[in-house]
Amino acid sequence: MTECEKLADRAQGFGLGLRTVYYPDILESPQPVDWFEIISENFMVPGGRPLAMLDRIRADYPLRMHGVSLSLASTDPLDFDYLRALKKLIARVEPELVSDHLAWTGAHGLNLHDLLPTPLTQEALDHCVERAARVQDFLGRRIALENPSTYVSFADDEMGEADFLAELARRADCLLLLDVNNVHVSAFNHGFDAKNYLDRIPKERVAQIHVAGHSDLKTHKIDTHDHPVSDAVWELFSYVREKFGPIPAMIERDDRFPPFSELLDELGFMRRLAEAGERVAA
Amino acid sequence: MKLAELQSLFQASVLDAEPSPHLLARLRPPGRAESVAETFAVYHDGFRLRMTEFLANDYPVLRAALGELAFGAMAEAFWRARPSTFRNARWFGASLPAFLRTAPHYCADSFICGVAALEAALAKSFDAEDAEEIPISALAATREEDWPQLRLGFHPSVVVVETSQAALAAYEAAQTGEASLQSGGAVRLLVWRRDLDVNYRVLEGGEDMALVAAFDGAPFGEICSLLAFANPQKPAEELAMAAGNYLARWFADGMIVAAATAPG
């Protein structure tokens, strides 16, 4: 296998979210992680340690960029200052993939710094299609949009979320980032069938998979990224791998950070599960 | 209801103390939770937790000094007065010191205002723009008659901040894990970054004056004149020597990124 093939192979593999708490482990020695995903906004700063660490890690690993502030579904105008900063970071990182969410983060110039749910209406779909296309035109590349965890849904919804995403991806010619934990959380919260949701996702559009842990409040679940991935989510992940084949996949962890070795064990589990699924599929 | 109206209603329901019944009426009953208000609380309460967490990340010593409850109350007063308009949460808390200086409940508390000012300055320096420092040898070719016109460019991470002795002691105690008992008046700190690490030191009167002037673009000759005006009893040679020493230290600390003798 040539160096280029090895790099391409790693980019197709299994990754982790890059978080500062793990910098010492990542910088100390090579880690069995094929790539890391950064939160784009964490590196949209003028300089200093964040960008220096980013450059050091980028020298050794492929990176993917995941944003939380695009606010695709907002009725506010697109923020081109933000998009310019994003484009500048893309030029620096040269990521395999740039992604954000099907969500809005605020209106009337405010930012609530949350991934707020959008009604699943034709009006919202048209709005998101138009904005996704403009974002891609500005960035000069396709982006992937992630299905969010949601805790409320709207009486005026005219379609399911999977159908909304499929149509959005088709019309805007964008990619999808399939967050399996979010499917599980939203399915529980709204009472829909997770596998039926996954069956409606166009697999040729799925560029990346997320899994993560969540908090179970019995009456509803919250996407907190502060627990190991649950058995139910691993089961859905296996279903996705069997159905969709090999797609770059990663674990998100954002709180109650375990030792890095534990996260690597969880990543190893993900690899074995995926490989087992591929053997079954074969 | 149009998308824009719905988003306005949703946002107001997150920011207000209670969600609007008009919004709740437009939401579907949840799968298992007793009421839609229970699941909407994930957004409503989560927003408050997140705003507090953002500030706690930038102001850990302030949080420790105030305690969880008072810090949460301060955070809510802050986001209500200055809601975030930033795409990047990094900048949300940058104006907290300015808010505290004018907020009736906090403005008279020099300790709280001082801790906030110090931590904001450290955060600002931490990820300020990068720039290449230059060595003092860059001045070797400067002719004697050109020195009065010498102007310096400072590293973007250089910040001068006014805080209090007690706030500084609290910050240092938090770094060492020791108790802080110090009190005292105002103190001015020089904060800068070198090799990715943020440094600080207390500014004394003469250096403070010289630095502020140099920072504002005053040439070396003007800085010497300012020092002479403030210290009429001291001989000019002694003041020129002091100014030279300040300058040498700024170079040695890696704070200087440009030096030119062209008239400004």
Lowest mean pLDDT among A3-7, A187-191, B69-73, B97-101: A3-7
Query: What's the whole-number average pLDDT of chain A?
Result: 94
Please count the CA atoms within 13 angstroms of the CA of A236 that sit on its side-chain side. 26
Across the interface, whether the CB atoms of A191 and B3 are under 8 A apart is answered no
pLDDT at A279: 62
Under the banding of pLDDT at 50, 70 and 90, the label for residue B33 is confident
Residue of A nearest to B87 (CA): A69
The pLDDT of residue B144 is 87
pLDDT digits (tens, 9 = 90+) for B118-138: 999 999 999 999 999 999 999
Chain-centroid distance of CA B237 in Å reads 36
Average of pLDDT values for B247-260? 96
- Label residues B135-155 b or e (16+ Cβ within 10 Å = b): eeeebeeeeeebbebbbbbbb
Q: Closest to B127 (Cβ–Cβ): which among A46, A105, A110?
A: A46
Query: Searching chain B, which residue's CA lies closest to the CA of residue A128?
Result: B3
Provide the domain limits for residue B3.
Answer: 1-108
Is B126 at the interface with chain A, CB within 8 A? yes
The predicted structure's pLDDT at residue A282: 57
Nearest beta carbon to residue A219 from set B32, B87, B92: B32
**pLDDT value for A181:** 98
* Span B35-52, average pLDDT: 96
Give the closest residue to A96 by CA, choosing from A249, A213, A214: A249
Q: Which of A74, A82, A152 sits opposite B39 (nearest CB)?
A: A152
Beta carbons of A41 and B88 less than 8 Å apart: yes
Give me the half-sphere count of Cα atoms (radius 13 Å) on the Cβ side of residue A65.
26
Q: Which of helix, strand or coil describes residue B21?
A: helix
Identify the band that residue B263 occupies on the pLDDT scale cut at 50, 70 and 90: low
Alpha carbon separation from B132 to A45, B156, B256, B262 (Å, rounded): 17, 10, 8, 20
Choose, out of A127, A152, A192, A255, the residue to mutate when testing the contact with B (most B CBs < 10 Å). Answer: A152
**Taking a C-beta distance cutoff of 8 angstroms, is the pair B100, B162 a contact?**
no
- Biggest CA–CA distance in chain A, Å, is 54
- The domain segmentation of chain A, as residue ranges, is 35-281
pLDDT tier at B254, thresholds 50, 70, 90: very high
Q: Provide the chain A residues 226-245 that lie in CB contact (below 8 A) with chain B.
A: none
Task: Tell me which DSSP letter residue A102 carries.
Answer: S
**Per-residue model confidence (pLDDT) at position B166:** 94
| Mean confidence (pLDDT) of chain B | 94
Do the Cβ atoms of B39 and A154 come within 8 Å? no
Say whether pLDDT at A201 is over 70: yes
Please judge whether A111 and B33 are an interchain contact, meaning their C-beta atoms are less than 8 angstroms apart.
no
Under an 8 A CB cutoff, do B39 and A119 touch? no
Task: Please tell me which residue, A76 or B238, carries the higher pLDDT value.
Answer: A76
Which residues of chain A lie closer than 8 angstroms to B88, CB-CB?
A: 41, 44-45, 69
Mean per-residue pLDDT, A23-28:
97
Q: Could you tell me which chain A residue has the CA closest to the CA of B197?
A: A49
pLDDT greater than 70 at residue A10: no
Number of domains in chain B: 1
Q: Which of B46, B86, B128 sits opposite A47 (nearest CB)?
A: B128
pLDDT tens across B204-220, in order?
Answer: 889 999 999 999 999 99
Backbone angles phi, psi at A175, to 5 degrees: -100, 175
d(CA B31, CA B34): 9
> pLDDT band at A4, cuts 50/70/90?
very low
Residue A7 pLDDT > 90, yes or no? no
Residues 6 or more apart whose CB falls under 8 angstroms from that of A224 comprise A213, A214, A215, A254, A255
Distance CA A243, CA A196 (A): 12
- Which ipTM was obtained for this model? 0.94
Q: What is the pLDDT of residue B178?
A: 78
| Residue A1 near chain B (CB below 8 Å) | no
Q: Is residue B48 part of a domain?
A: yes
For residue A275, pLDDT beyond 90: no
* Overall average pLDDT of the A81-93 stretch: 98
Asked whether residue A1 carries a pLDDT value surpassing 50, the answer given is no
In B35-64, the residues whose Cβ lies within 8 Å of chain A are 36, 38-40, 42-43, 46-47, 50-51, 54
Rg (CA), chain A: 18
Which residues of A, range 84-103, sit inside 8 Å of B by Cβ?
A: none
Q: How close A202 comes to chain B (CA, Å)?
A: 26
Check pLDDT > 50 for residue A118.
yes
- With a cut of 50, say whether residue A257 has pLDDT above it: yes
Using an 8 Å CB-CB cutoff, list chain B residues near A214.
Answer: none
pTM reported for the whole predicted model = 0.93
Q: Which tens digits make up the pLDDT trace of B50-68?
A: 999 999 999 999 999 999 9
CA count, 13 A, side-chain hemisphere, B184: 14
Q: How far apart are CA A10 and CA A4, in angstroms?
A: 10
Q: Which residues of A touch B10 (CB under 8 A)?
A: 116
Substitution target in A113, A164, A222 with the highest count of B β-carbons within 10 Å is: A113
pLDDT of residue B236: 86
- Mutation test of the interface with chain B: which of A151, A224, A225, choosing the one with the most B Cβ atoms within 10 A? A151
Q: How confident is the model at residue A9 (pLDDT cuts 50, 70, 90)?
A: low
Distance from CA of A1 to the nearest CA of B (A): 38
- Write down the residue that tokens 């891609």 correspond to: A136
Asked if residue B148 is part of any domain, the answer here is no
The confidence band for B181, taking pLDDT boundaries of 50, 70 and 90, is low
The candidate with the shortest Cα–Cα distance to A281, out of A249, A238, A242, is A242
How far apart, in Å, are the Cα atoms of A158 and each of A34, A122, A130, B26, B248?
40, 7, 19, 13, 70
Residues 6+ apart with CB under 8 A from A125: A159, A164, A167, A168, A171
With 0-12 / 13-18 / 19 or more C-beta atoms within 10 angstroms meaning exposed / middle / buried, residue A222 is middle
Asked if CATH classification 3.20.20.150 holds for the domain at A35-281, the reply, yes or no, is: yes
